[in-house]
Chains A and B, each alone.
Chain A
Amino acid sequence: MGIILVYYTIIAGFLVHAPRLAILHESIRNLFFHVSIWFAMVILLIISVTYSIKYLINPKAIFDNMASEFAKTGIVFGLIGVVTGSIWARFTWGSWWVNDPKLNATTIALLIYLAYLVLRLSMENEDQRARISAVYNIFAFTAMIPLIFILPRLTDSLHPGSGGNPGFNVYDDVDNNLRKVFYPSIIAWTIMGFWLTSIRIRIKNVKEKIFELESKNLF
């Protein structure tokens, strides 16, 4: 299902008639990729945090697995979002990276989640690793949310939707075609993220089963 939606997004994204605007021209099509990937990333990270909270309430290994896998996929999506945003910036603003609060905030968020991965790697004992990384996940999430959503709106920036710029609703008032592709694309990328994560979780479960069976065979 996810594959179908992603194909729809990619193909329609390039073919749909997009309104031409002064600076953006055709690059408005990036809306479908960049913004939807960010939406999907936020959704994935929210799910990761809920699994962390669930793990603290009820320590089962499966919750910890899901929390970490969702966080990993969230990081990958975040990186893709940064790359697509950077390419877009090159075309519209002229440089690969600007000193913009939303960009800074998202870099910090990515650093936080990469630190989460390092923390997981540095602990051997499984229960301890699960518990402490769950605590860090929740702590980092509550520190990150004010960053990404509140700070950029308070300050001026080039980024659309914050500071002095109108959000994208102004642009596609003229022609509703963009919305037809935008909303499904959010769903498409989110489903993509879910699919990637669920495959990783299944691989992990299979590896654990193999490990158990092997250790049983030894005795």
Chain B
Amino acid sequence: MKTITVLISKEFTIELRQKYALGGMILYLVSSIFIVFMALNLNNASIHPVIWNAILWIILLFTAANSIAKSFIQEKKGILLYYYIIATPGEILFSKMIYNFLLMMFLIMAGVLIYSIVLGNPVQNMQVFSICVLLAALGFSSTFTLISSIASKASNSSTLMAILGFPIILPILLMVLKVSKNAIDGLPNSNSFNELLTLLAVVIITITTSLLLFPYLWKSS
């Protein structure tokens, strides 16, 4: 337990030291939201909720893929060996997942905030929406962390990250989109309950599988 907290605090320290990474992510968010805003060319008309929903989650998906890709890919060559000496593979993966989850929560909340400022906020059921955001951050972080560790071993890693990650994240994304649309329409909580439960189940399956498979990945050079 203590190792995990140490590793997480290590991630935070590194991130805050090299401010360019976090700032880069926020800039990525702001730029993509701005591009969407310009492309829609609204002139005071309001945007259809379906499109609001779809574009928000697409932007968040790309931001997630880019930011979590950095977690394994940017580690220098020898540093991984050092980690393997001081901690078990499960602890390393788990600490990266928790760190990525917190990062995703921050980025998603910032993204929704900026998006609402620019394009309006039609969400009526904030409870369901916030649970949806929480589960989406969990889902993104758990899948993309493992994919990033796989992609970091290959040569063309950033392209591979997208290719490997997007099909696997699709079921999570589809369920998140449905729940988010329910929240926007203001449907009562009971409608979304099934989907949220399935989301939780998929996230748990993903985390367990990743923890089982990661020890096989760490051994290579």
Interface residues on B, range: 20 to 34
Partner among A104, A123, A139, A147 whose Cβ is within 8 Å of the Cβ of B154:
A123
Q: Is the CB of B164 within 8 A of A119?
A: yes
Is the C-beta of B156 less than 8 angstroms from some C-beta in chain A?
yes
Q: Which residues of A from 21 to 59 have beta carbons under 8 Å from B?
A: 56
Partner among A108, A123, A131 whose Cβ is within 8 Å of the Cβ of B167:
A108
Q: Is the CB of A139 within 8 A of B171?
A: no
Q: How far is the CB of B88 from chain A (nearest CB, A)?
A: 17
Q: How many A residues, CB 8 Å from partner?
A: 30
Is the C-beta of B146 less than 8 angstroms from some C-beta in chain A?
yes
Q: Point out the residues of chain B lying under 8 angstroms from A139, CB to CB.
A: 146, 168, 209-210, 213
Partner among A111, A138, A151 whose Cβ is within 8 Å of the Cβ of B209:
A138
Q: Which residues of B from 100 to 120 have beta carbons under 8 Å from A?
A: none
- Majority-rule SS of B interface residues: helix
Q: Is the CB of B163 within 8 A of A118?
A: yes
Q: How far is the CB of B110 from chain A (nearest CB, A)?
A: 28
- Majority-rule SS of A interface residues: helix
Q: Is the CB of B167 within 8 A of A111?
A: yes
Is the C-beta of A132 less than 8 angstroms from some C-beta in chain B?
yes
Q: Point out the residues of chain B lying under 8 angstroms from A108, CB to CB.
A: 167, 170-171
Is the C-beta of B155 less than 8 angstroms from some C-beta in chain A?
yes
Q: Point out the residues of chain B lying under 8 angstroms from A147, CB to CB.
A: 171
Q: How far is the CB of A128 from chain B (nearest CB, A)?
A: 5
Is the C-beta of B160 less than 8 angstroms from some C-beta in chain A?
yes
Per-residue interface assignment for chain B, residues 179 to 220, with 1 indicating a CB less than 8 Å from any chain A CB and 0 otherwise: 000000000000000100010011001100110010011011
